[in-house]
Amino acid sequence: MRFRILLLPLLILILSGFDTPVNLDANTVYLCMGKGSKKYHYRKNCRGLSNCSTKIHEVTLAKAKEMGRTLCGWED
Ligand SMILES: [Zn+2]
């Protein structure tokens, strides 16, 4: 019974997130493969990726961390 009470606000939270530009699939991040790039990005249209001169790669968050990447400063 207690579980049901907790489930409803969680469901509302998930549903309300659908119209935001943030990538809800938290396991997918974007990397710029340029020489100086050490960051990963949640959004493909991130400001930090806009000046990337090379192809943008899509990898899992675990893979990005494995590569020593840290979260981009433009992400909130
Ligand atoms: Zn970014």
Q: What is the pLDDT of residues 20-75, one digit of tens each?
A: 555 455 589 999 999 889 999 999 999 999 989 899 999 999 999 999 999 999 98
pTM over 0.75: no
Identify residues whose C-beta is under 5 A from ligand 1, the ion: 41, 46, 48, 72, 74-75
Q: Which of 65, 32, 63, 25 is nearest to 50 (CA)?
A: 32
13: left (phi over 0), alpha (psi -120 to 50) or beta: alpha
Cβ contacts of 69 within 8 Å, gap of 6 or more: 29, 31, 38, 39, 40
Distance, CA 49 to ligand 1 centroid (Å)? Answer: 6
Query: Residue 57 Cα, ligand 1 centroid: separation in angstroms?
Result: 13
Residue 51: predicted pLDDT: 86
Q: How confident is the model over 3-20, as a mean pLDDT?
A: 62
Half-sphere exposure of 40 (CA within 13 A, CB side): 22
